[in-house]
Every structure is written in C-alpha cells, then in structure tokens.
Amino acid sequence: MAPHVDALYIFLLIVTGMMALLVFVLLIFFAARYRQRPDVRAEQIEGSTALEITWSTIPFVIFMVIFAWGAVVYFKERTPPADATEVYVVAKQWMWKVEHAEGQREINELHVPVGRDVKLIMTSQDVIHSFYIPAFRIKQDVLPGRYTVEWFRATKPGVYHLFCAEYCGTQHSGMVGSIVVQEPAQYEAWMKGASTGPLSASGEKIFAELGCATCHRSDTQGRGPNLQGVFGQPVQLEDGRTVTADENYLRECILDPGSKRVKGFQPIMPTFQGLVSEEQVNALVAYIKSISAAKPAGGAKTNAHLVSPRDPMSEQAQAQPNAQPDRSQVQ
Amino acid sequence: MWSWLLTTDHKRIALLYLISITFFFFIGGFFALLIRLELLTPAGDLVQADTYNKIFTMHGMVMIFFFLIPSIPAVLGNFLVPMMIGAKDLAFPRINLLSWYIYVIGGVIMLHCMITGGVDTGWTFYAPFSTSFTNTKIVEAGIAIFIAGFSSILTGLNFVVTIHRMRAPGMTWSRLPLFIWAHYATSIIQLLGTPVVAVTIVLVAAERALHLGIFDPKLGGDPVLFQHLFWFYSHPAVYIMILPSMGVVTEIIACFSRKRIFGYHFVAFSSIAIAVFGFLVWAHHMFVAGISVYSALVFSFLSYAVALPSAIKVFNWTATLYKGSIRYDAPMLYAFGFLGLFTIGGLTGLFLSALGINVHVTDTYFVVAHFHYIMVGGAVMGYLGGMHFWWPKISGRLYPEGWARLAALIVFIGFNLTFFPQFILGYMGMPRRYYDYSHMPEFQVLNVLSTAGATILGVGYLLPMVYFLWSMRYGKPASDNPWNAAGLEWKTASPPPTFNFDEEPVVTWEAYNYEELDAPHKEEVPVAG
C-alpha cells in the first residue's frame, strides 16, 4: 500500500506547495509593493465576481482530483483480496494477541512471509484500539463487540513497527510490537515451530465441548440451522431481513443469538456472552468457515475442515481451479 | 468590586471573561509545557504514564472548553458586537452576566476535578474506555463541560438576537462589519451544536453510573455511536474557534491596508457556508473507526466542500492588500501570521480529507500539528491580533508598539518551530498520546525541536500579558481612534461610556469606508447622519 499512499502524498505536497507558494508570494509582494507611502492613497476596489468564480472553481476542480485519487487508494486499502491469508488479532489493554490459522500464537509480534496478501480479522476484548503499521501506511481501529478487517502485502523482509494508534489507557504507548516479514523459506521454518494445531481444529473441539453440535447438526436440519456451507451465504432472518453470513454475523449469533435469528427457528439458543473468550469465538468462527469452504471441494465431509484452513494459505489451494467458484455455489 | 460582579454592562462582562479565560489559558499552557518536557527524551522519565495521560487530557479540555471556545466571542465579541452595530448593550444584559457566572461555575468544577485527580480519557472521552474502564473523574469533568456549554449557548443566543434586533438605524445587513457576520455564523453553531455535546455527556454519565447499554458493546451498546455524537458537535466546535478569528483578521486587514474588503458579500456568505457545511463533515474524524467505505466517501467529499469557503476567504484577504496602503503595526503582524499559519493548517487539511492518506496519518502527530495550526496558529493569532487592535479602545491606553511587534515575531517563530516538525513526525508514524517512545528513538530529534519551539512560544505568549498590564498604568492615553479605523466602535470614547454612545448613531455609509476616512478633507467625515 505504501507506494500508492506515498504517490498521492507527493502529489499533494506539490499541489498544496504551489498553492501555498502562490498565496505567500502574493502576500509578500503586495505587502512590500503597497506599503504605506506619503501622498499615495489606497485604491478602493469593490470586488470582482469573475475573480471570485475563478478562484472558487479552480481549487474545487483540484480538490475533486485529490478526492477521487484518495478514494481510489482508500478502496484498495479497504478491500482485501478474496484469497488472502487470514490471521486473527485480539487486542486487549495493553497487548496484541495474534492467532494464525495454522494455530501459531504470538504476542505483540506478527510473522508474515514476503509477497503474500494477509488479511487481519480483528477484535478487542475491552476498549477501542487501532492496529497501525506506519511502514505499510495502514491503520484500522479495533473495536470491542465486532470484527474489523485490514490487509496488506509485505514486499521487503524486515522488522517493522506495530503501534496502537487509538488511545486506550495507561500503557497505550507500551502497546507496541513488530511485524516480522520473512522470506518464504524462513517463514515456513518458523511456522513449523510449536503449534497447538489449526485454529479451526480448536474451534471444532470447542464446538463439541459446548454442545453446539446437539442442535447445529451437520447431517440434517436440527433445532438450530445446519452450519455446513453457511459462511458467505445470504441468510433469511425471522424478521424478514436478509443478511450475509460473514464473520461479524457468526460472531453476533454466538454472543447475541436473539438479535438476528434465522427464519424458521425457535429462539432457544442461549447467549455465550461471557462464557467464551474472544480467542474461542475466533476459533469457532474459523471452524464454521472451514466447514463452509471445504464441503463441496473435498469429498470427505467429516474431516475436510481439518485440511481446508491450511489450504488457502498454500500455493496449491490458490491453484485449485474450483476452490473459488465452489465457495459461492455452496448450498 | 460589587459593581463589577453585578454589572450588566457588556464591556465589563467582556473584561471578566478576559481575566477568567487568561487564567485558564495559562493553566492549559502549563500542561502543554509538561507534555513537551516529557517528550524531550524517548523514555517516559519525567512523569508516569497515568500522569501524562491526565496532563494531555486536561490540556485539551481546558484549552478547548475553557479558553478557545469562549476566547474571541466572549471577550472581543462581547465587548464589540453591540458597539459595532450601534447598540447600547446586548439584547439580554442579565443573561450575558449569567453566562459568565455559568462559565465560572463550570470552570471551578473543572479546577476541582483537576486538583482532586483529573481525567485520563483524552478530551475526546471515547467510549467504552470512558464509560466502563477508566476510574478517573469522568462524571465530574462531564458536569463541568456540560455547565460551561450553557454559557456558550447563552452567549450565542444573545448575539443572534442582538444582531437581528438591535442594529442602529441605517445599519443594514450589508453594511455590517464582517466581524459581525463571523460572530453571527459562530453563534448559530453554538446554539445548534452545543446541546448535542451536552446530550452526549449525559449519555456517558448514564452508562457509567447506571450501566445503561448505550456505547459499551458488553452492555449492548455501540462505541461508534459515541464518536458520531461527539464529533457532531466537536467538529463544528472548530469553527466556533476559527470563525471569530477570521472576523478579527478581516477588520485588521481592512484597517491597516486602508481598504474596503475585497468581495464583501463573498466573505460574509462564506462564514455562513462554513457554519452550515461544518455540520456535515463530522465523520471525517472516523475514517478508520469502522464506518462503511461509502459513508467515508460522502464525508470526504463534504470535507472538500467545507474547505472551499475558507479558501475563498484567504484569496479575498490577499486581494484586499492589492493597491492598498499597508502599515505594519502589531495587529497587522498578527494578521499576517494568521494568514500564513491558517493557510498551512488549511492545506494540510486537504491531506487529511484524502481518504487514502487519512488512513496513514490519522491519530498521529500529523493531526496534532494540523489542528494546532488551525486552532492555535489561526484562532489564537487572531485573538492576539484583536487584543492588540482593540486594546486602546478597551483600556484607553496604548501598549508599547516595539514590544508588541517583537512578541508577534516570537510567537510566529516559536509556533512554527513547535508544530512544523510534528507534521514530519506524523508522516513518519509517531502516534498521538504516547508518553514513551523508547521503541522508536528515531523520533527524538524532531521532538527536541518541537520542545525548543514550545519554550519560545511560551515566552511569546507571556510578553503581551506583561506589557498589557504595564500599559494599564504607564501606557500613553489612547485617543478615540488611534488607528484612524472605520467602524462605529471607533466613533466613541476610549474606553467607551457605559451605554457606548452619547446619542444613537445613524449609519449612512458602507463598512470599511476608508476612502472617506483618508480623504484629504477629513473634517467632513460624517459622524452621525
């Protein structure tokens, strides 16, 4: 992102520099040229509509160029590529907890390989924080109670600053860390280090432990909706609305099941607010996503999800021609 | 003493305000100095984290709510609005006094809050940190600001009614000094905006005390809602600070270039345009807060729309100098300072409104530098310029011109040295509200420059206070119109009598009639028709 932002920045420096120069040169010139002299009186000028229109229109056109360019860059910043590697981030006073889909966990550090699109799915356990990597020119507030998303592709190996940019209390300035960008080989080596297994596998375990499967059955329609293939699909709600089952929707259904109930189901699900941690919610979401992405692609329904979360990250998955269309044709 | 505390004379009330806001200005300035001292070194070594967080919070709250918002309107506006339109007083003199008492009550509560513990949320009070996490004195600070807000509302109300109803015969809308237009626009914002921040504070207090779920998601609230409500007032509040300053600068430029203002109507209506569009851009503070890309698009566009009237003003001021007869007395030096700093502040606003760049520089020192260029470089420069311009009228004495020019120069240099490095720091990525940057020592050089500048700036602000006080006793008595300026306020004694004019003026001339004033046959200048 940095080259795009910097290009616009330099353009703005030049344009505003010229505007400032114009104003300052005129000010200084007039101030010097028309300083008070004996016997010379000021010449009264009422104004000029033509001039007013000129110096309203020209800046406005320039403003619109800046606006449009800024908007284009912003759309790029805000639209993660569909096949980006997903990493979950949980912010709390005053640290960053990072979970990779493969199960690696880090605190105040994020390891990524060069040249890969990385999408951060972020939430906060307490107050608002902001995940800011100055070198990549990206920043996104991290809110409690919902997911926000930010993405980047690192182009040069190195260690970069990670800052919390939204004031969050006592140790706000201590909530800093590093983004470690590695060559793919090094990164793979790092990845092989200690891991508790894929995030979706932990999710599956939690899914079983909490007894979710008693209602959300995978073979047939139970007392709760079947969650196979639900992710990314439109869902018809009891109140008539239709929402897309994205990360935020899944999260809301776990923590506040009553608010957006699926059409045709009774409000019998209890809330899990306070019973599951942010990390557990992330794992559950990762699990539900895995059984959505995997079902049509892999033949073996039951354990396909164990493979799937790793797949999108590796080159083979991107190469699979049917990985993308399948996702959208689920159901 | 009692004659002062029970006065309903707008000029005396203005002086009461002058004393009280100066007091708060130096408290806020003291906090600023502590901030700069802490940031001199990367380590957090002067104060502790919590103390620093309280210091920048109190700096913001005191400077914004107890200095900048009342500054020009409550002092210069109070003193001059009735005189400039040829009225005996404001429409509601008792309400005017009441608004000062309300301000003082708010201020005393704020002082009590600071002495007994303070607040550490930043002046922005972001939820849910303010409602569910911090254990500092949020509710008390909220009450102080809530109360002070009523003072602001009442002042605005008084100005609107006065400008509508109390103009002297012949003082039509298009003959009003542009200072009045600026105050009229400001008053509209005060009237319409301030209640919203009051409501927001009540909601924060309600969530904090009663655990109603409004902003905290754990209670079922929405933290982004807080930001919408907060900025709906706090963005227009920026225009409460800068519009009156624009009014002051307009008067000064006309007087010291001996000219009518170029494009009077465009300058007047741009004030109103700023007041109206100013209410439509609040979410440009929230481009990374989790709002949708489409609403960001709309607010970015509208931010450029509000930049336009400000640009028009700058061009008109510049054009006014053309073929003028320009003098460089201290007020004019401040006006030039204003033009330079406000232009930089405004142009860097274009960076922040550009969505792609905003993502990088928001919540960094770039923003800090930008809004100080507007609110200190712009608003305070205008305030000081106005104080010098009208000091002879207010006090009846002349201040020492040489010292005043020196002070203007020191303020200008000190200001730029303090805040220009912060633009660079911001683009390098230094976040706001960090008391310790030991992880990034590369930021130190620019921070040292900034602190050095702040020291110079501090001297620049102390000087005028010293020589203004000195001039009250030792200054030469001022004539009625030492600058030979246009405007009704210069047609009465210095200082003016209680009811401003011995007989009601009748206006037969346009504003800024410098042609007549400078005409060789001066004696025939109409005084009253």
DSSP string computed for B360-408: HHTTBHHHHHHHHIIIIIIIIHHHHHHHHHHHHHHHSB---HHHHHHHH
* Per-residue model confidence as pLDDT tens for chain A (331 residues): 788 999 999 999 999 999 999 999 999 999 999 998 888 888 888 888 999 999 999 999 999 999 999 999 999 999 999 999 999 999 999 999 999 988 888 999 999 999 999 999 999 999 999 999 999 999 999 999 999 999 999 999 999 999 999 999 999 999 999 999 999 999 988 888 766 788 888 888 888 888 888 888 877 777 888 888 888 888 888 888 888 888 888 888 888 888 888 888 888 888 888 888 888 888 888 888 888 875 444 333 333 333 333 333 333 434 444 434 343 333 3
Q: Are residues A266 and A167 located together in one domain of the fold?
A: no
Q: Is residue A223 part of a domain?
A: yes
Instruction: State the Cα–Cα distance between residues A143 and A186, nearest whole angstrom.
Output: 33
How far A245 CA lies from chain B's nearest CA (Å)? Answer: 17
What is the Cα A76 distance to its own chain's centre? 12
B262 touches chain A (CB under 8 A): yes
Radius of gyration of the CA atoms of chain B, in A: 23
Instruction: State the Cα–Cα distance between residues B175 and A6, nearest whole angstrom.
Output: 48
Q: Print the domain residue range for A302.
A: 199-329
Give the nearest partner residue to A34 out of B126, B307, B324, using CB atoms.
B324
Q: Is residue A137 part of a domain?
A: yes
Structure tokens at B341: 């700093």
Q: Are residues A167 and A249 located together in one domain of the fold?
A: no
Question: Rounded to a whole number, what is the largest CA-CA distance in chain B?
Answer: 77
Select the residue from A123, A139, A175, A273 to test the B interface by mutation, using most B Cβ atoms within 10 A. Answer: A139
Q: Please judge whether A169 and B134 are an interchain contact, meaning their C-beta atoms are less than 8 angstroms apart.
A: yes
Q: Please judge whether A173 and B323 are an interchain contact, meaning their C-beta atoms are less than 8 angstroms apart.
A: no
Cβ atoms < 10 Å from Cβ of B436: 20
Query: What CATH number did the domain enclosing A180 receive?
Result: 2.60.40.420
Give the nearest partner residue to B363 out of A4, A59, A139, using CB atoms.
A139
Would you state the pLDDT for residue B523?
Answer: 52
Strand order in the sheet with A138-142: A109-113, A177-182, A158-164, A129-133, A138-142
Would you state the pLDDT for residue A291?
Answer: 85
Given A191, A225, A247, the domain boundary residue is A191
Q: Are residues A184 and A203 located together in one domain of the fold?
A: no
Q: Which residue has the tokens 């698009």?
A: B297
Closest by CA position to B291, among listed A102, A138, A143, A68: A143
Q: Are residues A107 and A214 located together in one domain of the fold?
A: no
Q: What is the 3-state secondary structure (H, E, C) of B238-281?
A: HHHHHHHHHHHHHHHHHHHHCCCCCCHHHHHHHHHHHHHHHHHC
Instruction: State the Cα–Cα distance between residues A253 and A259, nearest whole angstrom.
Output: 8
Closest by CA position to B165, among listed B92, B233, B224, B108: B92
B452 touches chain A (CB under 8 A): no
Instruction: State the Cα–Cα distance between residues B133 and B119, nearest whole angstrom.
Output: 12
Given A191, A211, A242, the domain boundary residue is A191
Q: Are residues A211 and A230 located together in one domain of the fold?
A: yes
Q: Are residues A281 and A167 located together in one domain of the fold?
A: no
Given A191, A207, A230, the domain boundary residue is A191
Q: Please judge whether B514 and A60 are an interchain contact, meaning their C-beta atoms are less than 8 angstroms apart.
A: no
Instruction: State the Cα–Cα distance between residues B502 and A177, nearest whole angstrom.
Output: 71
Q: Please judge whether A145 and B258 are an interchain contact, meaning their C-beta atoms are less than 8 angstroms apart.
A: no
Q: Is residue A31 part of a domain?
A: no
Specify whether the CB–CB gap between A28 and A82 falls below 8 A. Answer: no
Q: Please judge whether B293 and A75 are an interchain contact, meaning their C-beta atoms are less than 8 angstroms apart.
A: yes
Would you state the pLDDT for residue B526?
Answer: 52
Closest by CA position to B489, among listed B15, B4, B86, B154: B86
**HSE-up of residue B315 (Cα within 13 Å, Cβ side):** 22
Mean pLDDT split into 10-residue runs, chain B, 529 residues = 88 96 96 95 92 96 96 95 94 96 97 94 93 92 95 96 95 95 96 95 94 91 95 95 96 95 94 95 94 94 94 95 93 96 96 95 96 95 97 95 96 97 95 93 95 96 95 93 93 91 90 86 50
Collapsed DSSP state (helix, strand, coil) of residue A158: strand
**Structural domains of chain B in order of their starting residue, each with its CATH number:** 7-524 (1.20.210.10)
What is the Cα A325 distance to its own chain's centre? 23
Tell me the one-letter amino acid at B325.
S
Instruction: State the Cα–Cα distance between residues B137 and A256, nearest whole angstrom.
Output: 32
Q: Is residue A28 part of a domain?
A: no
Select the residue from A40, A65, A163 to test the B interface by mutation, using most B Cβ atoms within 10 A. Answer: A163
Q: Please judge whether B518 and A42 are an interchain contact, meaning their C-beta atoms are less than 8 angstroms apart.
A: yes
Q: Are residues A211 and A325 located together in one domain of the fold?
A: yes
A42 interaction partners in chain B (CB closer than 8 Å): 257-259, 323-325, 514-515, 518
Structure tokens at B283: 């979410």
Q: Is residue A60 part of a domain?
A: yes
Instruction: State the Cα–Cα distance between residues A57 and A65, nearest whole angstrom.
Output: 13
Q: Please judge whether B326 and A169 are an interchain contact, meaning their C-beta atoms are less than 8 angstroms apart.
A: no
Q: Are residues A271 and A219 located together in one domain of the fold?
A: yes
Q: Is residue A302 part of a domain?
A: yes
Which residues 6+ apart lie within 8 Å of B131 measured at CB? Answer: B138, B204, B207, B208, B214, B215, B216
Which residues 6+ apart lie within 8 Å of B443 measured at CB? Answer: B42, B425, B428, B430, B437
Q: Are residues A225 and A160 located together in one domain of the fold?
A: no
Specify whether the CB–CB gap between A41 and A178 falls below 8 A. Answer: no
Q: Is residue A123 part of a domain?
A: yes
Helix (H) and strand (E) counts for chain A?
9, 12
Q: Is residue A32 part of a domain?
A: no
B416 interaction partners in chain A (CB closer than 8 Å): none
Q: Are residues A306 and A187 located together in one domain of the fold?
A: no
Give the nearest partner residue to A35 out of B260, B326, B427, using CB atoms.
B326
- Count chain A–chain B contacts defined by CB atoms under 8 A: 264
H or E segment and range at residue B413: helix B401-428
Q: Please judge whether B354 and A19 are an interchain contact, meaning their C-beta atoms are less than 8 angstroms apart.
A: no
Instruction: State the Cα–Cα distance between residues B360 and A323, nearest whole angstrom.
Output: 34
Q: Are residues A173 and A205 located together in one domain of the fold?
A: no
Instruction: State the Cα–Cα distance between residues B364 and A5, nearest whole angstrom.
Output: 16
Domain total of chain A: 3
Surface-to-core class of residue B346, CB atoms within 10 Å of its CB (0-12 exposed, 13-18 middle, 19+ buried): buried
Q: Are residues A303 and A217 located together in one domain of the fold?
A: yes
Instruction: State the Cα–Cα distance between residues B185 and B192, nearest whole angstrom.
Output: 11
Instruction: State the Cα–Cα distance between residues A256 and A251, nearest whole angstrom.
Output: 8
H or E segment and range at residue B287: none
B43 touches chain A (CB under 8 A): no
Taking only residues 276 to 305 of chain B, the set having a beta carbon closer than 8 angstroms to any beta carbon of chain A reads 287-290, 293, 296-297, 300-301, 304
Instruction: State the Cα–Cα distance between residues A165 and B342, nearest whole angstrom.
Output: 26
How far A74 CA lies from chain B's nearest CA (Å)? Answer: 4
B325 interaction partners in chain A (CB closer than 8 Å): 34-37, 40-42
A60 interaction partners in chain B (CB closer than 8 Å): 304, 308
A51 interaction partners in chain B (CB closer than 8 Å): 263, 319
